[in-house]
Amino acid sequence: MSTNRYKAVIFDLDGVITDTARYHYLAWKRLAASQGVHFDEAFNEHLKGIDRMGSLDLILASAPRAYTPEEKLALADSKNAHYVELISTMSPADLLPGAVEALDACRAAGLKVGLASVSKNAFAVLDMLGIAGKFDYVVDAARIARGKPDPEIFLKAASELGVSPADCLGVEDAVAGVASIKSAGMTALGIGDPAVLAQADRVIAGLDHFALADY
């Protein structure tokens, strides 16, 4: 397919451009332990692509008691504070292979470049990675009412980029993220396992395999 098919490429952050999953895992694991909830790698997989409060709800569903909205907010803030502490040492060395090249290839092709991450720390992470200037628009997750798999975040990115959703390629590594892209009416490029990301239009192992002409 010609690269002229698209006018914009909208990337997810975690698991696509950088891997902060291990930091999320450690922060959630500590919180879960503090509430008497068993948390392991398998459980963590279910949180991929889900926003902070949605992830917290999944964890607390196994807790021995119920929580008030205020208690949930306090726990979410506690988790985030630990996560921010963990990611404070991030640098350009934490970029995944091919990430910068993929962003630059989109720019070189004359396409708009957006970021649609449910992470409320996305701006800080981009700064630490040294790539904030490579995006035309970054969605502020704090202003998104509905997390993935709802299409809101990708539709917001397309709107701010001034591009029709049908002219956008969305890049995601999570099932919820791919569902969000498809619900938005965009073409979905999955990063990871084709068997897991079956709803994606195409799946590659990582951005080091990214080639616009192929999509």
Q: Is 13 annotated as a binding residue?
A: yes
The active-site residue, picked from 12, 94, 104, 136, is 12
The active-site residue, picked from 14, 19, 136, 201, is 14
Under 8 Å between Cβ of 171 and 191: yes
Q: Is 50 annotated as a binding residue?
A: yes
Q: Is 117 annotated as a binding residue?
A: yes
Q: Is 120 annotated as a binding residue?
A: yes
| Residue 77: active-site member | no
- DSSP bridge pairs for 8: 112, 168
Beta strands per DSSP E along 86-213: 112-115, 137-138, 168-172, 187-191, 202-204
Q: Is 14 annotated as a binding residue?
A: yes
Q: Is 49 annotated as a binding residue?
A: yes
| Residue 12: active-site member | yes
Torsion from C-alpha of 182, 52, 18, 48, nearest 10 degrees? -50
How far is Cα 101 from Cα 188, in angstroms, rounded to an integer?
A: 19
- DSSP bridge pairs for 138: 115
Q: Judging by DSSP bridges, how do beta strands 112-115 and 8-11 pair with one another?
A: parallel
Q: Is 51 annotated as a binding residue?
A: yes
Burial classification of residue 83, based on how many CB atoms lie within 10 Å of its CB (0-12 exposed, 13-18 middle, 19 or more buried): buried
Q: Is 118 annotated as a binding residue?
A: yes
- Residue of 161, 48, 85 whose CA lies nearest to 169: 161
Q: Is 7 annotated as a binding residue?
A: no
Q: Is 112 annotated as a binding residue?
A: no
| Active-site residue set | 12, 14
Residues placed in the known binding site for substrate: 12-14, 28, 47-52, 55, 79, 117-121, 148
Residues placed in the known binding site: 12-14, 28, 47-52, 55, 79, 117-121, 148, 172-173
Residues placed in the known binding site for Mg(2+): 12, 14, 172-173
